[in-house]
Structure 1
């Protein structure tokens, strides 16, 4: 047979081997285990490292597309049916498997590592950037609520970090972003870091979270001018406590 198996026939084959309809896979799925681990109030880097590396999947069965985000970059794959689940092919040869286990999505990479994902709630808009649903849920779980500055500039002020990257109450910055992976994580080493900015001008900061206490430090660069930055904690700028 010279022509590729039509998607409709592939769907029928899959339907005969599994209890879920192909369309049940559609939508955005997030790594709730990573969010729950971060919400315990310790190191963000450690929680994400232990529960990663993939944090979000977006699946479109009709168009045979499956994409994932690791918090820094995205990969687009082609979806096809196998005997019991779906195969995702990246760059022509790197494969992964997707399977529904009840209401959860199980993803197994080529090395055999399995991760579990749940549907994003609320459902992500069709045009939402890949990774944004996980990021919003993480921001809410990790930094949500009311924080009070107990040490540093603006002492006594109430600080709020929103799930869309806004921050109010800190003297100066009005936007923030947590470092999840990629170059910022490499530069920070074992430290957690975030970006604070105002009017699109900002800088990286080092932070330490211990339950309901958040310390934010100036980031010092120990690298030479021709080397990749190596950020370490400098002077402590703020101490925040969550009510």
Structure 2
């Protein structure tokens, strides 16, 4: 009797692990693998492309909707639920993606848009009214640029710089906000180079940067394009050299 009871309990536990209620899909899921790859201190966009293209999913079971962000565009799809297999997300234009749960991860199956990808719940979600992709962006900013950076060369030499997860920056002279380029037009304009936007009082400019481990170099962005053409930005003179403690 005791043996039979043990087998029954084990079966129940395994069954509980294998099944998920529809509500388990709900909410925000971020591409933690892309963040972990970038945090090693390599080229940012190469790391994201290698683990992308989707960076964040939002699933709304009640509305039968699922949306994802690639760091530049937001795609909104219609969610079809399946009790016995992956859920289907259909987008305008014929794109289809399959979603399933594996333990605590949301799995996007391999498709024409990219390889299989795994997503996790963010440790801290962005406010509900924030655009899709904000939770991924906050987690990335914290992992990629978090900590104390000292200005070794450039204006403000000797000062400590903090890049906040909310996009604010302290310690860079006459600047208060930043944004990393993840994809889209800003990526097209800089080719293989990483770029970020730096501003003060909503007035700013693009800059080229290179991170190698705990060293961060920020260069002026020089436009090599002809007048009227899309900007073709390349690194010019180095403005800052920062080292992370």
TM-score, normalising length from structure 2?
Answer: 0.89
Structure 2 unmatched runs, 5+: 1-14
Q: Is residue 160–residue 167 contact of structure 1 (8 Å, CA) maintained in 2?
A: yes
Q: Is residue 102 from structure 1 mapped to residue 79 from structure 2 by the alignment?
A: no
SS in 2 for 1:119: coil
Residues 92 and 206 (structure 1), Cα distance of their counterparts in 2 relative to 1, 3 Å cut: closer
SS in 1 for 2:137: helix
CA distance in 2 between partners of 1:189 and 1:92 (Å): 28
Query: Equivalent residue for 2:60?
Result: 60
Query: Equivalent residue for 2:5?
Result: none
Q: CA deviation at 1:124?
A: 4.3
CA RMSD of aligned residues (A): 1.4
Query: Equivalent residue for 1:204?
Result: 206
Residues 125 and 171 (structure 1), Cα distance of their counterparts in 2 relative to 1, 3 Å cut: closer
Deviations 1:112-157 (A, max 9, x none): 6211000112244432320000000000000000100000111001
Q: Is residue 108–residue 115 contact of structure 1 (8 Å, CA) maintained in 2?
A: yes
Residues 98 and 72 (structure 1), Cα distance of their counterparts in 2 relative to 1, 3 Å cut: same
CA distance in 2 between partners of 1:219 and 1:92 (Å): 36
Deviations 1:21-64 (A, max 9, x none): 11100010000000000000111011011111110000011110
Q: Is residue 158 from structure 1 mapped to residue 160 from structure 2 by the alignment?
A: yes
Query: Equivalent residue for 1:9?
Result: none
Query: Equivalent residue for 2:139?
Result: 137
Q: How does 1:86-101 map to 2 (within 5 A)?
A: 86-91=87-92, 93-101=94-102
Q: More displaced, 123-132 or 208-217?
A: 123-132
CA distance in 2 between partners of 1:116 and 1:55 (Å): 10
CA distance in 1 between partners of 2:93 and 2:206 (Å): 37
Q: CA deviation at 1:109?
A: 5.2
Q: Is residue 95–residue 109 contact of structure 1 (8 Å, CA) maintained in 2?
A: no
Q: Is residue 28–residue 124 contact of structure 1 (8 Å, CA) maintained in 2?
A: no
Q: Is residue 188 from structure 1 mapped to residue 190 from structure 2 by the alignment?
A: yes
Residues 205 and 92 (structure 1), Cα distance of their counterparts in 2 relative to 1, 3 Å cut: closer
* Consecutive aligned runs of 4 or more in structure 1 exceeding 2 Å deviation: 122-128
Q: Is residue 199–residue 205 contact of structure 2 (8 Å, CA) maintained in 1?
A: yes
CA distance in 1 between partners of 2:50 and 2:111 (Å): 18
CA distance in 2 between partners of 1:49 and 1:123 (Å): 23
Q: How many residues are matched?
A: 227
Query: Equivalent residue for 2:171?
Result: 169
Query: Equivalent residue for 2:226?
Result: 224
TM-score, normalising length from structure 1?
Answer: 0.90
Residues 101 and 175 (structure 1), Cα distance of their counterparts in 2 relative to 1, 3 Å cut: same
